[in-house]
């Protein structure tokens, strides 16, 4: 048989066909239209073979079975139902042809088997998984605004039951080989070097026993839930999906409906139901945005941080100054990824608390199955603590995380610089203080930068790598590489007040205070933000962060950008009264007796002191006023070259403040609306001041009918 571009066929063990998928010029095997055409051609030839006793589908790429559909094709798809139906039917036809081969088939999975890749594997009679560390099996389509549209919502429930299938499909999570075996997705999980032999044995057994024919027959039949089982299973599942997605993601709900409507009818009818619900999602704004975020994430992972060809320095040892919340979190992040860390604090009790905090995080990870006890022991063995600054002499990178006070920080730098190696890098975890200015306290400004972690460090993926005026490219790429090594997503930012995330966040926070003082209800403000897709509203966020922290950090940014900062009093009044948010038991809401925040009648008195007026403010105005000033500030950030590209802004906000990914990020949200429409919205509020005035770049793009990404 002729060798195809992506598929290679050979006969092994006399009568076993081995079909190897090895897409040329790509690290992954993806199911684009060209590859599907090859599969169709190959299957047409296999259907005529009378000399084969079985077929093994395998991959020629180590650690990769099939990554799924070609996201470039899906991302560029337009919502054209008839065209989409044809493309979906092509996938259905190919998978159905596997199920009609005149001999049994087995998918030998050794590596990532995702989405359409698993759907193809489900078309085989059996699946067997190898032990490669990258072997993960799942249907993650809901994460890109879709659901499995090549039969996954129908074949998986018939294999493992509707309840488990709903859990996997609607969450979009992958499982390792052993878990896939326990669930029944794969027949067995075996060592990778035995995978081919075991696949051959499985085919021989199935051929001899005839089990493959019975397996095919069962797959075509309804699952057979009783009316009561069906009602209970899908009522519980819907409640869980709504609780997790807040109804903002249509794909999980559509997947749930497909499973519910399809599980009790024959497979051919069920596949029609699946297609009916799948087609409207393809090319939808949410799907396009989530696919765009996927590609932005990949781009960020590959970005070295600078445009020049500069190699990072080797980092073998890291020092952390400060054992508080952030210092302990930073040290813990390094040792979990195998980087030895020395944590320093002048207070022995602070060191004890810091070490305990690191251990507590690891114990929590063990409890949820994200870490093993021996891995914790290994990580903790990489942690040392000290009160002696001179022990930082052998560190390649030292990250300062002491109190957010410039005088204290710069004195630490002066004390430290005679001790450090000449080529050591010093980084500050500051969230507000100028990197360029603090670098003047050192004799090595080219090896000084910001490395701003977000709280809590163990859960927040973003790290802002801030370059001062004299920070070298080598320093930047070294810190970017280090951040990636410890599992973080670094974004390089040029020094400015608030850097990237806080600079764009503060207009949102500031406007929420202005709305309060105009008479908006705090719950209405929070509800508008959550409805938009934020994980919590700005009022609740301030209580969580601490009103004193919000007040002082806000002053830095508001003073720097005084022309577009709205002066408000409410934070000053509450902080002066000792109402600091959750940590003090009261802020905008009451947290007495451990509550999660209830309305507090006492707030009315504070608002009465600050109200400039009292008027009804509807949800649309609240939403516009929260997010439009963020957008104009983001446009300024781009114009000033604070970041290098629009995706840095969007990924920074998605990773740093959980801006809703289904909107594609702040700038992509504006592109989705259309900048001409955005300018119309801004015009309504321009009387409120410069924060609602579009930038010149926004005007130019709108006039040209372009967006931030299409400009």
How confident is residue 553, by pLDDT bands cut at 50, 70 and 90? confident
Q: Are 26 and 68 in contact (CB under 8 A)?
A: no
Of 474, 495, 516, which marks where a domain is finished? 495
d(CA 128, CA 369): 24
pLDDT at 2: 46
In a domain, 124, yes or no: yes
Indicate whether 76 pLDDT > 80. Answer: no
pLDDT at 4: 53
pLDDT, tens digit (0-9, with 9 covering 90-100), for 160-191: 999 999 999 999 999 999 999 999 999 999 99
CATH, residue 619: 1.10.1040.50
| 463-470 average pLDDT score | 98
- Domain membership of residue 61 as a residue range: 7-283
Percent of the chain's residues with pLDDT above 90: 89
In a domain, 670, yes or no: yes
| 207-233 average pLDDT score | 95
CATH, residue 351: 3.40.50.720
> Is the domain of 240 the same as that of 376?
no
pLDDT at 67: 94
How confident is residue 11, by pLDDT bands cut at 50, 70 and 90? very high
Lowest mean pLDDT among 74-88, 96-110, 298-312, 424-438: 74-88
pTM: 0.91
For residue 569, the 8-state DSSP code is -
Indicate whether 656 pLDDT > 70. Answer: yes
pLDDT, tens digit (0-9, with 9 covering 90-100), for 236-270: 999 999 999 988 999 999 999 999 999 999 999 99
> Is the domain of 489 the same as that of 560?
no
> Is the domain of 472 the same as that of 541?
no
SS3 24: coil
d(CA 451, CA 373): 30
Indicate whether 77 pLDDT > 80. Answer: no
Distances 443 to 318, 438, 477 between C-alpha atoms, Å: 20, 11, 20
| 455-468 average pLDDT score | 96
Indicate whether 375 pLDDT > 80. Answer: yes
> Is the domain of 330 the same as that of 272?
no
How confident is residue 596, by pLDDT bands cut at 50, 70 and 90? confident
Higher-confidence position of 338 and 562:
338
In a domain, 407, yes or no: yes
How confident is residue 612, by pLDDT bands cut at 50, 70 and 90? low
In a domain, 293, yes or no: no
SS3 600: coil
> Is the domain of 350 the same as that of 398?
yes
In a domain, 298, yes or no: no
Q: Are 189 and 132 in contact (CB under 8 A)?
A: no
> Is the domain of 228 the same as that of 342?
no
End-to-end CA distance of the chain: 49
In a domain, 270, yes or no: yes
Q: Are 220 and 266 in contact (CB under 8 A)?
A: yes
Q: Are 102 and 154 in contact (CB under 8 A)?
A: no
Cis peptide before 456 (omega within 30 of 0): yes
pLDDT at 69: 87
Of 461, 495, 529, which marks where a domain is finished? 495
d(CA 376, CA 412): 31
Lowest mean pLDDT among 4-8, 296-300, 539-543, 612-616: 612-616
Which residues does residue 493 pair with via DSSP β-bridges, in sequence order? 466
> Is the domain of 485 the same as that of 583?
no
Catalytic residue among 92, 132, 334, 452: 452
In a domain, 483, yes or no: yes
Beta strands in 254-350 (DSSP E): 318-321, 341-344
d(CA 646, CA 667): 7
Residue 584, CB half-sphere, CA atoms under 13 Å: how many? Answer: 19
> Is the domain of 565 the same as that of 622?
yes
pLDDT at 3: 46
Give phi and psi for 463, each to the nearest 5.
Answer: -130, 125
pLDDT at 556: 80
CATH, residue 38: 3.90.226.10
> Is the domain of 194 the same as that of 107?
yes
pLDDT, tens digit (0-9, with 9 covering 90-100), for 17-34: 999 999 998 999 999 999
> Is the domain of 232 the same as that of 379?
no
d(CA 186, CA 179): 9
Lowest mean pLDDT among 120-129, 280-289, 442-451, 603-612: 603-612
Distances 112 to 132, 209, 694 between C-alpha atoms, Å: 9, 30, 45
Q: In the annotation, is 452 catalytic?
A: yes
d(CA 662, CA 293): 8
The number of domains in the chain is 3
- Mean residue pLDDT across the chain: 94
Which residues does residue 384 pair with via DSSP β-bridges, in sequence order? 342
d(CA 410, CA 416): 10
> Is the domain of 393 the same as that of 270?
no
Of 453, 480, 495, which marks where a domain is finished? 495
pLDDT at 424: 97
Is residue 11 within a helix (H) or strand (E), and if so which, with residue range? strand 7-12
- The number of beta carbons lying within 10 Å of the beta carbon of residue 388 is 10
The alpha carbon torsion through 496, 500, 503, 506 (nearest 10 deg) reads -160
How confident is residue 337, by pLDDT bands cut at 50, 70 and 90? very high
Percent of residues in the chain assigned helix, strand, coil, to nearest 5: 55, 15, 30
3-state secondary structure 432-481: CCCHHHHHCCCCCHHHEEEEEECCCCCCCCEEEEEECCCCCHHHHHHHHH
> Is the domain of 260 the same as that of 331?
no
Q: Would you call 506 exposed, middle or buried from its count of C-beta atoms within 10 A (0-12, 13-18, 19+)?
A: buried
pLDDT at 253: 97
| 705-711 average pLDDT score | 86
| 523-537 average pLDDT score | 96
């Amino acid at each position: 048989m002729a060798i195809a571009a992506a598929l290679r066929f050979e006969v092994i063990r006399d009568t076993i066909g081995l079909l190897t998928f090895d897409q040329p010029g790509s690290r992954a095997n993806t199911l684009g239209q060209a590859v599907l055409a090859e599969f169709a051609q190959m299957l047409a030839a296999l259907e005529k073979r009378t000399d084969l006793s079985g077929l093994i589908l395998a991959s020629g790429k180590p650690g990769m079975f099939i990554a799924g559909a070609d996201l470039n094709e899906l991302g560029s798809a337009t919502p054209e139902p008839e065209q989409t139906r044809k493309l979906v039917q092509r996938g259905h036809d190919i998978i159905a042809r596997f199920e009609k081969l005149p001999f049994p088939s087995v998918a030998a999975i050794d590596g990532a088997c995702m989405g359409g890749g698993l759907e193809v594997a489900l078309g085989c009679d059996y699946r067997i998984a190898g032990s490669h560390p990258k072997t993960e099996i799942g249907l993650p389509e809901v994460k890109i605004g879709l659901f499995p549209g090549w039969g996954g919502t129908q074949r998986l429930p018939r294999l493992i039951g509707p309840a488990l299938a709903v859990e996997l499909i609607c969450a979009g999570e992958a499982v390792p080989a052993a878990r896939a075996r326990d669930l029944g997705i794969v027949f067995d999980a075996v060592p990778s070097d035995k995978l081919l032999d075991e696949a051959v044995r499985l085919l021989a057994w199935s051929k001899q026993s005839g089990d493959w024919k019975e397996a095919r027959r069962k797959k075509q039949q309804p699952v057979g839930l009783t009316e009561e089982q069906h009602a209970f299973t899908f009522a519980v599942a819907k409640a869980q999906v709504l609780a997790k997605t807040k109804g903002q993601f249509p794909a999980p709900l559509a997947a749930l409906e497909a499973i519910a409507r399809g599980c009790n009818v024959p497979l051919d009818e069920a596949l029609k139901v699946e297609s009916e619900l799948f087609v409207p999602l393809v090319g939808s704004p949410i799907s396009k945005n989530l696919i765009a975020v996927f590609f932005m994430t990949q781009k960020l992972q590959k970005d070295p941080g600078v445009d020049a060809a500069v190699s990072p320095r080797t980092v073998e040892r890291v020092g952390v100054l400060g054992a508080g919340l952030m210092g302990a979190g930073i040290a813990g992040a390094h040792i979990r990824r195998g980087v030895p860390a020395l944590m320093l604090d002048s207070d022995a009790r602070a060191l004890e608390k810091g070490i305990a905090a690191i251990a507590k995080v690891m114990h929590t990870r063990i409890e949820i199955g994200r870490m093993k006890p021996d891995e914790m022991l290994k990580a903790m063995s990489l942690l040392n603590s000290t009160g002696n600054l001179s022990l930082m002499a052998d560190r390649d990178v030292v990250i300062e995380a002491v109190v957010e006070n410039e005088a204290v920080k710069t004195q630490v730098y002066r004390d430290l610089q005679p001790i450090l190696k000449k080529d050591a890098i010093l980084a500050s975890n500051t969230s507000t203080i100028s990197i360029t200015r603090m670098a003047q306290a050192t004799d090595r400004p080219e090896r000084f930068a910001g490395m701003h972690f977000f709280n809590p460090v163990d859960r927040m993926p973003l790290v802002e790598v801030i370059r001062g005026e004299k920070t070298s490219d080598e320093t930047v790429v070294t810190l970017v590489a280090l951040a990636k090594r410890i599992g973080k997503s670094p974004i390089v930012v040029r020094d400015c007040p608030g850097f990237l995330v806080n600079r764009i966040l503060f207009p949102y926070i500031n406007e929420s205070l202005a709305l309060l003082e105009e008479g908006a209800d705090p719950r209405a403000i929070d509800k508008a933000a959550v409805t938009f897709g934020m994980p919590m509203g700005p009022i609740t966020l301030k209580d969580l962060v601490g009103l004193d922290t919000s007040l002082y950090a806000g002053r830095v940014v508001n003073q720097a950008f005084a022309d577009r900062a709205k002066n408000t009093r409410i934070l000053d009044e509450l902080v002066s009264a000792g109402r600091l948010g959750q940590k003090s038991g009261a802020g905008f809401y009451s947290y007495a007796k451990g509550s999660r925040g209830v309305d507090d009648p006492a707030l009315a008195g504070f608002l009465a002191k600050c109200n400039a007026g009292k008027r009804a403010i509807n949800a649309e105005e609240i939403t516009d006023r929260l997010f439009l000033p963020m957008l104009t500030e983001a446009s300024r950030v781009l114009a000033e070259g604070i970041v290098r590209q629009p995706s840095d802004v969007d990924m920074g906000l998605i990773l740093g403040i959980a801006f809703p990914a289904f909107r594609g990020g702040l700038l992509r949200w504006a592109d989705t609306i259309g900048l001409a429409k955005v300018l119309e919205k801004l015009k309504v509020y321009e009387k409120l001041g410069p924060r609602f005035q579009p930038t010149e770049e926004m005007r130019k793009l709108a006039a040209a009918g372009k967006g931030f990404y299409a400009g």
